[in-house]
């Protein structure tokens, strides 16, 4: 299984009384994500499933990814991709998709960097996961503990 992890794009600053989960992408965030996702498409990113955090900015990122990558199915939502979620809970969600060839997961920091380390079997590993960054991890073991190999990371500055 190929697992793609995508951090949401640049989002608006929070305002008093606004829940963090309700922050939306900015126009600049959308513009940059479009360019990043076009690069991902040229790298043959073709997810069979897209799962997103329920937060607005992540859902908007997932919707944009679906549009640009030609994904036509419904997006799945998972609380296991929220900022402070457990990597173990996210892994349980991925394992439930075991028969899928490729999965795109859209989420937040610090979860994306800690989940990357978890997938690689090194939970202490930390990754500088910028907004709009994408990682590909190929899984060669889908057991209770994941064992994957990092294939690439696309940082926004390199993609643009």
Tell me which residue range forms the domain holding 42: 2-159
* Distance (Å, whole) CA 129 – CA 8: 10
- Convert the pLDDT of each residue in 49-85 to its tens digit: 999 999 999 999 999 999 999 999 999 999 999 999 9
Q: Supply the CATH number for residue 96's domain.
A: 3.40.50.1240
Distance CA(48)–CA(76), nearest Å, equals: 12
106-142: per-residue pLDDT in tens?
999 999 999 999 999 998 888 899 999 999 999 988 8
The whole model's pTM is what? 0.96
How many independent structural domains does the chain possess?
1
Q: Token pair of 7, please?
A: 């951090």
**What is the DSSP code (8-state) at residue 102?**
E
In the chain, DSSP finds a helix count (H) and a strand count (E) of 5, 6
| Length of the chain counted residue by residue | 160
């Amino acid at each position: 299984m190929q697992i793609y992890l995508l951090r949401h794009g640049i989002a608006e600053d929070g305002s008093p009384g606004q829940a963090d989960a309700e922050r939306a992408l900015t126009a600049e965030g959308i513009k940059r994500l479009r360019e990043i996702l076009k690069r991902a498409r040229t790298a043959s990113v073709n997810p069979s499933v897209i799962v997103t955090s329920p937060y607005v900015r992540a859902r908007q990122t997932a919707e944009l990814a679906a549009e640009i990558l030609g994904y036509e199915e419904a997006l799945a939502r998972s609380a296991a991709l929220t900022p402070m979620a457990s990597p173990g809970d996210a892994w349980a969600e991925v394992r439930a998709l075991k028969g899928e060839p490729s999965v795109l997961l859209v989420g937040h920091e610090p979860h994306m960097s800690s989940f990357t380390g978890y997938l690689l079997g090194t939970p202490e590993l930390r990754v500088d996961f910028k907004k709009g960054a994408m990682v590909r991890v190929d899984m060669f073991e889908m057991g209770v503990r994941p064992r994957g190999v990092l294939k690439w990371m696309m940082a926004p500055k390199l993609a643009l």
